């Protein structure tokens, strides 16, 4: 039996589909579905799993060892808002909750994959290398990144990473993210802004070494993320912290151009000043170092932003249904 925390969320529900495609249905989903206004429950529609456990009840079940036959826990559940200001909430939800799951996994020899974040790298001055030896030098720029970094350090100190895998997700986009609001991907926001206004606003650069729109990110399609995660489950000897990106940095202008192209439109891009509150925390460049994952044996190619955005826009976002059901479209267009 496999447990997915955050299983109704963006990456969690995509991973549920990945497992279903491989014939795995003995899966328990742990999540908080919230109100009907977010409609996050729709991410589970059409997918196969054996049970659903509310997030708040899960820790007690672990304490009592009430769940038998668990082979793996895929821990995607977290507050992923980089703008969250309630530090105590993030420490409880992202750090304390994760410690309980990790301790159970270690005590019962259960394979653990958990979501870390590229936000742990901070401004990138220390690079984007996922080797364990570099953890202590990282300085996240926000409390969300710090909560993830704190757990990475705890997992290392307590030898959790001897058998578990921490996944540092970079800029993920793709179907089933509609419920994320302000935390949804730039692709999702760009699509809706283009439809509404016919044009797209991007932030101006406030650094002389970057032109407007040439700020760079490592954008990764969610289906590439789940491919990595499935490979990790199939290779239980692989452990440690790994970047989940493509190893290629692309500009926001590239992303915008690909979105217009997927819609069959000519680019119409305007550049607006970045808010003062963001300027001292803004990353102008992120790019995952994928050397470690490749050395571990992962050989799959990654989807280009042109191909990923085309599939996302044409097979999901352009559908008349306002909710993105990841099982409706072909897995690869």
CA distance 117 to 74: 15
The mean pLDDT value of the chain amounts to 91
The predicted structure's pLDDT at residue 328: 55
pLDDT tens digits for range 42-85? 899 889 999 999 999 999 999 999 999 999 999 998 776 676 77
Query: Mind listing the domains of the chain with CATH numbers?
Result: 2-173+219-247+287-303 (3.40.50.720)
The predicted structure's pLDDT at residue 327: 55
The region, left, alpha or beta by phi > 0 then psi within -120 to 50, assigned to residue 62 is alpha
Confirm whether 180 is a catalytic residue.
Answer: yes
Catalytic residue among 100, 163, 180, 204: 180
Q: Which residues contact 146 (CB under 8 A, 6 or more apart)?
A: 90, 140
Quick one: average pLDDT of 155-171? 97
Confirm whether 144 is a catalytic residue.
Answer: yes
231 or 179, greater pLDDT: 231
pLDDT tens digits for range 182-204? 889 999 999 999 999 999 999 99
Q: Where are the beta strands (DSSP E) in the chain?
A: 2-5, 27-31, 51-54, 72-75, 111-117, 165-169, 171-173, 200-203, 216-217, 219-221, 240-244, 250-251, 269-272
Q: Is the pLDDT of residue 320 over 70?
A: no
pLDDT-derived band at 227, boundaries 50, 70, 90: very high
The predicted structure's pLDDT at residue 143: 86
Q: Is the pLDDT of residue 323 over 50?
A: no
pLDDT tens digits for range 234-263? 999 999 999 999 999 999 999 999 999 999
Catalytic residue among 144, 188, 221, 312: 144
Q: Is the pLDDT of residue 333 over 50?
A: no
Q: Which residue in this structure is represented by tokens 């309630």?
A: 86
Lowest mean pLDDT among 41-45, 262-266, 285-289: 41-45
């Amino acid at each position: 039996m496999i447990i997915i925390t955050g299983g109704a969320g963006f990456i969690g529900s995509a991973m549920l589909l990945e497992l279903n495609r491989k014939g795995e249905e003995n899966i328990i989903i742990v999540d908080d579905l919230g109100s009907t206004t977010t409609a996050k429950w729709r991410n589970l529609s059409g997918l196969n799993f054996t049970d659903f456990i509310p997030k708040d009840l899960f820790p007690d079940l672990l304490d009592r060892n009430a769940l038998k036959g668990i082979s793996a826990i895929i821990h995607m559940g977290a507050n992923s808002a980089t703008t969250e200001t309630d530090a105590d909430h993030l420490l409880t939800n992202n750090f304390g909750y994760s410690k309980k799951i990790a301790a159970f996994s270690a005590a019962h020899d259960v394979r653990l994959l958990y979501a870390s974040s590229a936000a742990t790298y901070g401004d990138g001055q220390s690079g984007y290398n996922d080797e364990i030896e570099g953890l202590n030098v990282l300085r996240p720029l926000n409390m969300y990144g710090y909560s993830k970094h704190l757990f990475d350090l705890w997992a290392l100190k307590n030898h959790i990473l001897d058998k578990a895998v921490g996944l540092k997700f970079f800029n993920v986009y793709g179907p089933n993210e509609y419920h994320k609001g302000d935390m949804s991907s730039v692709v999702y926001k760009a699509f809706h802004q283009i439809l509404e206004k016919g044009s797209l606003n991007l932030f101006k650069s406030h650094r002389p070494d970057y032109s407007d729109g040439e700020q760079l990110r490592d954008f990764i399609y969610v289906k590439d993320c789940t491919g990595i995660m499935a490979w990790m489950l199939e290779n239980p000897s692989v452990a440690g912290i790994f970047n989940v990106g493509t190893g290629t940095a692309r500009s926001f202008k590239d992303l915008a151009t690909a979105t217009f192209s997927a819609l069959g439109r000519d680019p119409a891009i305007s550049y607006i000043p970045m808010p003062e509150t963001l300027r001292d925390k803004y990353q102008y460049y992120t790019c995952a170092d994928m050397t470690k994952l490749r050395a571990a044996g992962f050989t799959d190619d990654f989807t280009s932003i042109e191909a990923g955005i085309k599939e996302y826009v044409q097979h999901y976002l352009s559908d008349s249904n306002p909710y993105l059901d990841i099982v409706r479209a072909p897995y690869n267009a």
